[in-house]
Every structure is written in structure tokens, then in C-alpha cells.
Structure 1
Amino acid sequence: MAEPVDPWPGEFRTVGGRRMHVRTGGRRDRPRIVYLHGLNGASTNWTDLMGALAEEYRGEAPDLPGFGKSPPPADGDYGLDAGVAAAADLIRAGDHPVHLVGNSLGGSIAVRLAAERPELVRTLTLISPALPDLRPRPVPYQMLGALVPVVGPAAYARIARRPAEVRVQDTLDATYYDPASAPAQRVLEALEAEREREGQPHAVGSVLESLRGLVAEYLRRGPRSLWRQAAEVDRPVLLVYAAADRFIDPRMARRAARTFRRNRLVLLPRTGHVAMMERPELVARELRGFLAGDGARRPGGA
């Protein structure tokens, strides 16, 4: 495995009336990739994947409002549509259409954006996307406990007050197939970020409200349900699922491959929920091959 690179430099930008922190990497004269992180994630989730593709693509990874270094949304709206609006405004502020990559909640945002604003998206890559699945799984159902009125938020706040070292290890245990494989540099960076987040008054609320918004999307019916919108996406799609994912059931890969019109499906063994962090070189190889022909594949390809 290559030595970890340092986190890419970031800057604050005002787009669509909101202030967001955005990290950029790669050559400015190359095609643009925009990366969207998952629930309670940050732009640094993409450091290694951006590094692996830096010679061929210009990467931009925002901290979505209320996460990483970005301030919370002024209206307190953490719903999926608010995330779509933030991502769309960022994309419109530069060269577009872009290659759009999303993980988990970022994958949900990317699907709706590609379905409703296709002029902004050239290709779509979904890494363990959070698409509706109501079958019980231990980790997601434990998270849902935080939404129980009064008791849930209080319990989550207590969890958030545990030492940063404990919180980081719990996150690695939940999102990696092999937590010990995380480079020491990345663990130290995660510790620093956790300690910084401790002082942010919106730290707990941003997670709970985003989770509440995601649950609402899982229960949504009608033309704007995420699976209905997935079927409407007419851009090439790379689907990356992980066999050891504790959040997204890898069996959903089959449904995704049947739903997206033009897709390539990859199922990674011995990999957890954040494949771009645990297996960046492998994900980069798949993404590089996919983008080489702008994702050109026959419909339903796998």
C-alpha cells in the first residue's frame, strides 16, 4: 500500500448563499470529480482516493454543511434536498458536468442530483450508497435508537462525550473490515478532527437531523423515492458495494444493478463501508477504468 498523503488543502467558499469548506487536489487542467462524503463524514474521507487519481483528475471534496469544517446551515435544514442543493451549487460554480462520486449518505444525495439535475452530472459513482432498505441490520438499527424522542438524543449526546480515542476506534470498528489496516497517520488525523468537533455546538444536532432526514427518504413513496429516481438516472453508473459492509447490505447490489440503466457493478471482498478509505488503490483502479471511456457500458452491464 502506498504511503498516505497529507490531507489536501482546503478553502472556504460561498456558494448559493452558504459557506462551505472545500478541499481540492490534482491537476487543474484535468476533468473534474466532485466527492460527497457520508453521514458524520468529512472531505478528508477522500484524501487517498483523490491522491491516487491526482495525475488524471482534479478532485473537489466539500465538507457538507454542518460537517467537517463547514458551518451548519443557517436554516437548520439537514434534509436530503438541502444536501442536493449544496452539492448542485458547488458543481455549478465550476466546470460542469462533473464526474460525481458519493459514499453512503453522499450516495443518496448523488442519486437525487443525477436524477433531477442531469445537466450537472457526467458520470455517477456510488460507493455503498444509502438507498432504501427496510430489512433489519444491527448497526443501522442501533443508530435509529438515537431518534427516539427525548431518550435517544440524550443517549447519543452521552456517547458523543466519550473520549475521542474511543469514538474513533468505534468508527473504525463499524466502517472497516480490518480496522487495524488504517494507517497511523489517518487515525491521528481522525483524532484531531474529533477533538476539534467536540467544541462545535452543532456536532450532535447535525448527525441526528441528517439521520432523521435519511430515514424520511427511506420511507418516502411516490415519484421522488430514491429507487424510482435511481431508475431515471440516464448517466453511466459505477456501483461499488462491499461484502463486509455493516451498514449497507451487500445484497442490495443486485437490486441496484437491476435498477440503474447503464451500470457497472463491483463487489469488493474483505471490505467495509468506506471502501475509498480502506481500499483506495483498488477503488481508484475501478474508477479509473470506468472513467476512461466516460463510463461507457451497455445498459445493465456488470
Structure 2
Amino acid sequence: MEAARLAPEDVLPASEGITPAWPGRSVAVDGANIHVRDTPGRSATVEPAVYVHGLGGSSLNWTDLAGLLADYLDGQAIDLPGFGRSDPARSYTVTAFADRVIRWIEHSDRGPVHLFGNSLGGAVAVCVAGTRPELLRSLTLVSPAMPFLDPRRSFHGRLLPLLLIPRADWLAARRLAAIDPADLARMVIESCFADPSRFPEQRFAEAVEEARLRYTVPEYTSAYVRTLRSLILSFVRAYLPGSASLWQVARRISTPTLVIGGQRDMLVDVRVAAQVARTIPDSRLLTLHDVGHVAQMEAPRMVARAVLGMLSEASSVKLVPRTGASERPKRARRNTKSKRDIPFGGGITPAGEAAG
């Protein structure tokens, strides 16, 4: 493990307000629809990338980061089965999700790809990288939900008693129906962001619309509860003997890897990111002080610089300094300013200390 290196700021496009959500489409794979949002590359030398969201999230979680990286990566952010706008599945285990991501990469015929995963998506990406390394060029894990056994260190710990109750998904659906979509969106933001005020108004409107969608999808609460239950069970299995442990899978990863963790993460034990980086042989660690669970949303430019720093040293990606925003195609944007654009004073762990 080594400290992550940051690419220069000038290799990223200039900040021009808030990027609208990338267009989505549904693709039938093995008889079930996968919803995907495409972030087209802006140059002839871009390489393919796939983005995988966390528990309760969707492909919308990658809008900003994918846009920042579009000079180098041609991105596809997918909704996992049962989440966003993808069809539900029979199984909601980490392995089942990994199989679905593998099938997407195979079906799209774009591999090998740069694979990104946040939270649950990080655990899924670990499973993909440890079992099908030939499909990957690099791996980026943002607050990966790898196993830890102390529920007091997670916001989800308070949900553990619910998982033991029969028909927990039915009870969760009743609770969800009583919450206003805007209040639900605020609850999610407050649990995922170190500073919810960094969440732009336009992003909040998108989150409310996403929350409202969940009221129209009967399978959503079942998918959420069953996924959380399976994730907790995978945590227990990870500390038992056997090759199926996610930690054992991580040790087999040969792909160049970047691990990013927020020191104010309320959903995953803050010690996990460093442990993941120590476990994966060819890894780099970036720790962000004043950031929560979704660094790709809360500090997208810092995450993008770390990604490009890894890719420039570990792959064929060549960094090109930007000479001005006027040179690239523009998409419609609103004149919405975000506190996220304000530089983070001391928000990043110095490179020499990133390994912890």
C-alpha cells in the first residue's frame, strides 16, 4: 500500500455550475432490464469505465465524478437490480450483484474497464476484481462496505433488530410510506454527507425525485432489506474460514487499486478503507478529513484528481492540462452555485500521512 498521488488541478475541466443528470436507458440482459446512464468521453483516446452505486443509491450518485473524468473515461453508471430503475432480482447477495456487473461488462463488450464502486458497490467491485481480473483495467473503491463487526460504528447498526423480524420488508414499506419524499431525501443526505450544506439545490431536487420513485416501485423496500441482510451475513462469513470471505477475495486482486475513505463516514467504519488498502497488493489510499460516505459526490474534484493520479502511473492514460473551459462541448447547465466548489481547507490528508 502507498499514499495516493493527486493529479494537478489543471487536468480537470473548469467548474461551470451543476451538471444535469446524464441521460438513462434500459438494456435487456438475460431477460431483465438494467438501467444505465452514459457519460460519453470527450476525446478519441478515452477508455471505458463502469460505476456501481451503494445500498439505496443509484446511477445518479456518479453524475459529477463521471463528468469530471469524461476527458479520459467513457463512463457507464448502472443501477443494481432492485434499485434505481433496474428490474428486481431473485437474489440480493454481494455475489449475485457481482455476477450482474460481470454480465453487464460482457454484454456491453467494452472490457476491460476501469471499475468504480461506492459502499455496497465497493464490496461488489471487490468481488468482480477478485474473480474476473481480466475484465478490469483499474479499480477505485469509495468507502467500500467491506466487513466489520462493530455495529456501533455504522448508522445501519440501528437497523439490525429490524432484520430479525419476520416480514421486515413489509414493516419497512409501511414506514417508508409515512415519510415525505423530501424528508426521506434529507435523511439520506444527512447520513451520507459530512456537511449536508454542500449538497446543491439541483442535486436535492434530483434526490427528492429519486425518493418519490421508490414509492411507485413495490419491490424497492424488499430489495433494500434483503440486500442489507445479505450484506450483514457476508460480514459474519468474512471472519470464518474459507475462500468465500470478502477479505480473502480482496487479497487475490491484482488490478491497480485506489481506495478512498472519509473520516466522517457514518455508514462504514472509518478504519475499513485503510484495512482494504493494506489487503489489496497494488493499492493506494486517500483519506479525506471533512468528508462522509460518498466522497465522489461531496468532494468530486479531489476524488477525480486521485483517480487520474493512479491512472497516469498505472495505465496508459496520459494527462493533458486544460487551457480553458471554452474548448470543450457544453451541456445545458443552471447557474446554481455550490459550497462544494469552495476549496477544502485542510480537507485532505497529506500524501505522506494517507497510509495512516
TM range (shorter): over 0.9
1:292, CA displacement in angstroms?
1.7
Query: Which residue of structure 2 lines up, in the alignment, with residue 275 of structure 1?
Result: 295
Tell me which amino acid in the other structure corresponds to 1:16. D
**Which structure would you say has the larger Rg?**
2
Please state how far the C-alpha of 1:26 moved relative to its aligned partner. 2.5
Q: Give the conservation status (yes or no) of the 8 Å contact 1:238–1:295.
A: no
Contact 1:20–1:62 (CA under 8 A) maintained in structure 2: yes
Q: Is the CA contact 2:258–2:285 (under 8 Å) kept in the aligned structure 1?
A: yes
Question: How far apart are the structure 1 equivalents of 2:17 and 2:284?
Answer: 29
Separation in 2, partners of 1:39, 1:31: 27
Report % sequence identity: 39
User: How far, CA to CA, are the matches of 2:220 and 2:58 in structure 1?
Assistant: 12
Q: Report how far residue 154 of structure 1 moved.
A: 4.7
How many angstroms apart in 2 are the aligned matches of 1:224 and 1:2? Answer: 45
Q: Which residue of 1 aligns with 2:35?
A: 21
Where does residue 42 of structure 1 map in the other structure?
Answer: 58
1: CA distance, partners of 2:132 / 2:314: 18
Alignment of 1:65-104 (within 5 A): 65-73=81-89, 76-93=90-107, 94-104=109-119
* Separation (CA, whole Å) in 2 of partners of 1:106 and 1:142: 21
Task: Give the aligned partner of residue 117 of structure 1.
Answer: 132
From 100, 108, 122, the equivalent of 1:107 is 122
Q: Which amino acid in the other structure matches residue 131 of structure 1?
A: M
Q: Does the alignment pair 1:9 with 2:23?
A: yes
Higher RCO structure, 1 or 2 (CA under 8 Å, sep 6+)? 2
**Structure 2 spans left out of the alignment, 5+ residues:** 1-14, 317-353
Match of 1:147 among 163, 182, 185: 163
8 Å CA contact 1:45, 1:277 repeated in 2: yes
Q: Which amino acid aligns with 2:99?
A: A
Aligned residue number for residue 196 of structure 1 = 213
Matching residue of 2:272: 252
Query: Which residue of 233, 244, 247 corresponds with 1:227?
Result: 247
Shift of 1:269: 1.1
Deviates more, 1:282-291 or 1:35-44: 282-291
Report SS of the residue matched to 2:26. strand
Tell me by how many angstroms 1:67 deviates: 0.7
User: Which blocks of at least 5 consecutive residues in structure 1 are unaligned?
Assistant: none
Match in the other structure for 1:291: 311
Instruction: Give the aligned partner of residue 129 of structure 1.
Output: 144
